[in-house]
A and B are shown apart, each in its own frame.
Chain A
C-alpha cells in the first residue's frame, strides 16, 4: 500500500509534451528522497482525456486527487518537494476552471439581502454542539455584563426600553412581564421557555434550538437574574429530537463551564435549567396548559387571573417566553435598547422570523425587520408565486390567525396592523395561497386542526368548534343552506367570546377572516354549489365535450363506477349521479375532451 500515487499521463498529446521526461523526473526525485516504498509513480498508456486542450502534461496525485496540468520536468521537482513531502498542493499548477460564478454564497441572494438576522444571527454559522464556537461569537458576554454590571431592575428597564414584545403569539411586552414576576414576592420563582412550537408549518423555534441552543440558555439565565429565580424549564416537544439532543449537550457544556448551576461566573448567582418533553399537544403552547403539563398533569389551561407572573408553575411566580423572544435578549443587552428599537415600527420593535410556506418559490425561514411589507416578503424575499399564478391571500398566525387578502398586500407587518385586519402575528407561520386555493377549504383545514387539538375542557371549544367544522364540511360538499352561514358566524363570535383559553378564543379567526374577505366564495358554494377555485371535490363536475370526444371508449373502460357510457366512435357522456369525481377519465383521455368545472 502506497501513501501516494503519482499518475503521469502518457497519452499521445502528453507524450508529445515530454511526458516521459516528466515521468522520469518523478522517478528520480522519489528515489532521491528514498520514498520508493511509499510513493508509486505510474505511467498511464491511455490518455487520461481530462486535459482536453493541450495544456501540457497532466499529472494527478492521489489520495488528494490534485489535478496538475502543463507539468514540466522542473515542476515535477516542486510537486515532490511541496506536495509529496510537505503535503502542500502546488496551487500554481492546478487546472483552473474558467467560469466565474455570479452568486457564490447564499448571502448574495435577494432572499438574504432583505433579511435582518438578530434571532437567527448564529444559526447556520456556528457548530451548535460546541460551546466554544458560541463563546467565540460573543456568547455569554451579555450574561457576564448583566451579572457584573447591572442590577435586576436595570435589565428589566433595558428590555422595556427596547420595546421587545413576545414573539409567541399575543405580543405582550416582555419587560413588563418580567417586571410583574419580579414584583411578586415568593420563596421560589421559575423561568420557563415555550419551545412547544405547534403551528402547522412553523419551525422558527426549532431552527434556533438546533442552530444556536446556547443563546436560549444565556437568555433564560439573564431572565432568572432579573426576576430572582433559580430554576428554569424548557418545555420542548418530543417531536424535535435533534433540538432536544443539542439542548442537552448545550446544558451539559454550560454546566461544565459553570455558566449554569451554582455561583455562575463566580458572581454568587445560582440558576439551572431542566428540559421537559411535551407529547405533542398543541394546547400545551398555551402558557397555563404548558405549566400544568410541566407539573405532570394533563395539559389543560387554567383560568386567568391569577396570571403566571403571580401564580404560575407549581403555584409560584413564573415567566414564560418563547424561544425567539429569548433569542433577542443577549443582543439587546450587548448592543442596547436603542439599537434594537431602531428596527421596526412604532409599537413593534426589532425583527420577526417567519416560516414561509405554501405557494411561494423560496420556502424557508426568513427574519425581517418589523414593518416590512407583505409584498416585499412575498415577492422580493420569497421570490413570488411559482408557475405564474396569481397571489390570492397570505395566512399568518396559524390556526389562531387569519387570511390577508391580495388587496392588503402593502400592509406593513407588525403586531397591531395584523390584528386590525383580523389576523395576528402568531408565532410566525406565513402560508401563501394562490388562485388555486379555496378559502372555505383553507378555513376548514385550520379548523380541523383546532378541533383535533382542543383539550376538551371548556364547552365552546370542545363542542362549538366541532359544530363549526360540521357546517364548513357541509358547505364544501354543497349541502349547506344560507342560514348555516348565519349559524357559523354566530358560533364563531360566541366561541371567541366564551372560550377558556387563547386556543379556543382564536379558533374562529380563520373563519371570521375568510368570511370577511372572501364571503362570496362561501356563497358560491352554498347557492351555486360551485367551488370557484375548483378545490372542493364534491362540487366538481366532469363533463365530456361532444366536439372533442371521438368515442374511443377509453374513459368508459377506466371509470371505476361505470358512470360513463356511449357507443363506439360516438361522443360519450357522464352520469353525474354515478360519478365520484375521481378524475380518472380526465387523466386517461388523450383528446382533452373532458372538462372539469
Chain B
C-alpha cells in the first residue's frame, strides 16, 4: 500500500492507483471529461489536473499514479483557474446552441461549465464549422459539439475493436471521423451506438424517428402497433428519475397506450418464438450434420459485424430473424389474418435499446409481400422524448398490461436483454424438448453475468453440448478467431454486440461518466431482468400459451415451410469500404 496525502488528508492506495481513484476513495471528486474507466485514460482534456508538490507543472490525475509520500492538492486556486480556462477554451470552439441540444441538462460540458462559472465569451476567435454526418439511418455525428475527448473512439476501438473512427487532421482542425473523412455509411461501422452512450455532449445522437411515429399515429388509415424489446422496461425509468435498474414495464405500457398506439405488444413474445425456431434449428444441425457451432442472430450489430469482418462464416449464423423482425413479420401476417386487417394498413413500431435496429429495419430481406417487417424503430431515449413531449407523466401512471396475443410472453424472452439470456432461454427449452422431462433448476448461472466470454457444457439427451457466450465485439472477435483457427469445439454460441448485452445497448439512456466510472450499469439493469424472471410463473418459451396457439393456428410446427418463409432470413457479405 502506498501512503499519500490528498488535500492534507492521509490516503492509502494500492500501487498503480491513479490520483483520481485515490481521491475518490477519500471522498474527493475530481472532475473529468475524457476519462472513462477501463477504456479511456489518455490525459487529453486536462480538466482533471491537480497540483502535486514538487512537480514541474500540473498533472492529469486520471493517468498519474500515486507514489509514496506524495502530496496532492485538488482544489487550489491555481487548479480551479486552470480547469476554468480549459472549459472556456473548449467553449470558444463549441456549438453553444444548448437550448435545443439533445443533451441539454445532461451534457457533461454544460454541467462543469456551470460548476466553474465559465464565461462562454472569454475567448472569441476562429471556430471549426464542421457539418454533421447524416449519412446513415441510425446515427448523426455533429462535430460542432465535439470536445475531442475521444471516448467514442475508445468505445469503437478498444471496446468493440471495430475502429471505424479516429482523429483526423491535427491541431485546431482535429476532428473525429472515419479514415480519409469517409462518410459513416461507407465504412464498416456496425451501428452499435456504443459511441453515443459514452459521448459527454450532444455530438453523437441516434437518427430521430419520433416525428415519423407521431405522424403514423395521427394517420387514421393506419393501424399502428408497437413492440417493446426486453431491455426497454429496465432502462426507460432512468430518463424519468428512477434509479438505475428500475423496472417500469407497467407504466411504460400505459404511456404507450396514451401515445395512441392501437396495440401494445411485447417483443418478449417473439423472443419466445425465436427460441422455438432457433432451438429446433440447432437440434436439426446437431442431429443432421449441419454447420456448427451455430451462432445466434438476434443482435443486429453483431450480424452486421460478421457480414463485414467474417463473411466466410455466415453459414454459422442461425437463419432466424431477430425477435424484432419476427414481431414485425408476425404482425403483418398472423396478426393481420387473425383480426382481419389489411397488412398494408399495419404500421409496425419497435422500441429498442439499440441503434443497430434502425439499420436492421432497412434490410430489404426483412420483409414480406413487399412490406418491410418494421416501419419505425425508436430507441429508449426517443421513446422517453416522445412521452415527455406529449406531456405524459410516466412516474404517475397506473401499471398497464400488454395486448394479447402478442403481448403474452414467458420470462425466457425477457432475459434476452442480458448477455447469456438467449442461451439460457434456449437451454430451458432444449433440455425439456430433448430430455422430455421437466427441468429441476431453471437458472443456468454459468452463462449469466457481465464477463466478456463465458463457456459451459450441458448434457442434452446424452450428448455433451458445449456452449459459449460473448458480448462486446472484442470478445466476439476472440471466438471468431478460434473458429477461424479450427480451435472452437463449441456447438452453440450466443453473441451480443454490446458489452453486457442489450441492457447496455447503444439505444439505452445515457449515463454520465460520473456514473459510468463508479458503477456497472450493465449489472444493475440485468439484475432487474433476472429479478422479474425469477418472479414469473411461465419461464420457458415452449410453455407460453400464445406460442402454442400460434403454432397450432398458423405455423404448424417450428421450422415448418411457412415458418421458414416468414420467420427466417439470409445474410450477405458486405464490403468494408465502399466509394
Contacts and interface: CB of A to CB of B under 8 A. Distances in A.
- The answer to whether A and B touch directly, with their CB atoms under 8 angstroms apart, is yes
Interface of A: 281, 283, 298, 300, 302-303, 305, 451-460, 462-467, 470, 487, 490-491, 494, 496-500, 505
Contact of B46 (A300, A458, A470): A458
Given A298-B166, A305-B65, A494-B82, A463 B172 contact: yes
B171 A498 contact: no
B528 interface: no
B64 interface: yes
B125 A470 contact: yes
B170 A494 contact: no
Nearest to A467: B123
A294 to B, nearest CB: 18
Given A463-B93, A498-B46, A470 B173 contact: no
A464 B92 CA distance: 10
Interface in B182-231: none
B392 interface: no
A303 B58 CA distance: 12
B57 A451 contact: no
Interface in B123-177: 123, 125-126, 148, 166-167, 169-174
17 contacts: A281-B170, A283-B170, A300-B167, A303-B63, A305-B64, A305-B65, A451-B171, A456-B148, A457-B42, A459-B86, A460-B86, A463-B92, A463-B93, A490-B85, A497-B82, A498-B86, A499-B57
B89 A458 contact: no
A298 B167 contact: yes
Contacts of A454: 170-172
Contact of A462 (B49, B82, B123, B148): B148
The secondary structure that dominates the A interface is: helix
Interface of B: 42-46, 49, 57-58, 60, 63-65, 78, 81-82, 85-86, 89-90, 92-93, 123, 125-126, 148, 166-167, 169-174
Contact of B43 (A303, A451, A505): A303
Contacts of A496: 57
Contacts of B82: 494, 497-498
Contacts of A458: 43-46
A458 B170 CA distance: 11
Top-6 shortest CB links A-B: A456-B174, A303-B43, A454-B171, A303-B63, A463-B89, A470-B125
Contacts of B126: 466, 470
A427 B58 CA distance: 25
Contacts of B173: 456
Given A305-B65, A454-B170, A467-B123, A497 B58 contact: yes
A385 B315 CA distance: 78
B89 A464 contact: yes
Select the residue from A281, A497, A500 with max chain B CB neighbours within 10 A.
A497
Given A462-B172, A464-B85, 20 more contacts: A303-B43, A451-B172, A453-B170, A454-B171, A456-B167, A456-B170, A456-B171, A457-B148, A457-B174, A458-B46, A459-B45, A459-B86, A459-B89, A459-B90, A462-B148, A463-B89, A463-B123, A464-B89, A494-B82, A498-B57
B171 A452 contact: yes
B137 to A, nearest CB: 29
A455 B170 contact: yes
A305 B66 CA distance: 11
B172 A466 contact: yes
Nearest to B59: A303
A303 B20 CA distance: 15
A45 B169 CA distance: 75
Given A456-B171, A462-B171, A467-B89, A500 B57 contact: no
Nearest to A299: B170
A289 to B, nearest CB: 11
A491 B89 CA distance: 10
Contacts of B85: 464, 490-491, 494, 498
Of A283, A302, A303, A470, most B-chain CB atoms within 10 Å = A303
A281 B169 CA distance: 11
B263 to A, nearest CB: 51
Contact of B174 (A281, A452, A460, A462): A462
Nearest to B149: A459
Nearest to B51: A497
Contact of A303 (B42, B57, B171): B42
Contacts of B166: 298
A31 to B, nearest CB: 80
A459 B57 contact: no
B46 A500 contact: yes
Contacts of B92: 463, 467
A305 B60 CA distance: 11
A456 B58 contact: no
A451 B166 CA distance: 20
A94 to B, nearest CB: 63
Nearest to B173: A456
A311 to B, nearest CB: 11
B576 to A, nearest CB: 18
Given A467-B123, A494-B82, A456 B169 contact: yes
A467 B90 CA distance: 11
A457 B123 CA distance: 19
A489 to B, nearest CB: 13
A466 B43 contact: no
Contacts of A466: 125-126, 171-172
A292 to B, nearest CB: 11
A571 B166 CA distance: 64
A470 B123 CA distance: 10
Contacts of B170: 281, 283, 453-456
A288 B78 CA distance: 27
A103 B66 CA distance: 64
Contact of A463 (B44, B58, B78, B90): B90
Nearest to A450: B171
Contacts of A305: 64-65
A487 B85 CA distance: 11
A457 B172 CA distance: 10
A502 B269 CA distance: 59
A456 B43 contact: no
Nearest to B82: A498
A454 B148 CA distance: 14
Contacts of B44: 457-459, 500
A500 B57 CA distance: 10
A458 B125 CA distance: 18
A45 B217 CA distance: 115
A281 B170 CA distance: 10
A500 B60 contact: yes
A497 B80 CA distance: 13
A169 to B, nearest CB: 14
A459 B174 contact: no
B170 to A, nearest CB: 5
A283 B64 CA distance: 22
Nearest to A454: B171
Contacts of A453: 170-171
A454 B173 CA distance: 10
Contacts of A500: 43-44, 46, 60
A363 to B, nearest CB: 30
A500 B63 CA distance: 11
B150 to A, nearest CB: 8
A456 B167 CA distance: 9
Contacts of A459: 44-46, 86, 89-90, 148
A192 B173 CA distance: 30
B123 to A, nearest CB: 5
Max chain B CB contacts within 10 Å: which of A464, A490, A499? A464
Contacts of B89: 459-460, 463-464, 467
Given A281-B170, A298-B166, A467-B92, A497 B64 contact: no
Contacts of A283: 170
A469 to B, nearest CB: 9
Contacts of A497: 57-58, 78, 82
